[in-house]
Amino acid sequence: MLNYVKPEKFIVEEEKEDRGYLYARYSVQPLERGYGVMIGNSLRRILLSSIPSMAITRVKIKDVYHEYDALKGVKEDILQILMNIKQIQIKEVIPIH
């Protein structure tokens, strides 16, 4: 029979910053080797997918049919233009809801 290390402590530390943001630090210990990375990555993916945000999802450029096209008179290729557009950050002025 295999003996697994079971977590004995679950600690939550809450902290409020000057600007009013609430932070929490979670600590679970001890864990088997590699479990911390697995749990951390799972939590990160869940939290990132739960954050409501805005982003550019489509771009239409006249006379461009795929990302490897080139436009006459434009130094950058379409792929580089799309990568630049991908970096645009959009700020919500009016709530989306």
Q: Is the pLDDT of residue 16 over 70?
A: yes
Distance CA 77, CA 91 (A): 27
Query: For position 97, what pLDDT does the model report?
Result: 62
Four-point Cα dihedral 85, 41, 33, 25, nearest 10 = 110
Residues 67-89 have pLDDT tens digits of: 888 888 999 999 999 999 999 98
Q: Got the DSSP string for 29-80? A: E---TTHHHHHHHHHHHHHHHHS----------TT--STT---TT-SS-HHH
Cβ neighbors of 32 (< 8 A, separation 6 or more) are 4, 5
- pTM here is 0.48
pLDDT tens for 22-67 read 888 888 888 888 888 998 899 899 988 888 778 888 999 998 998 8
pLDDT at 41: 93
pLDDT of residue 96: 63
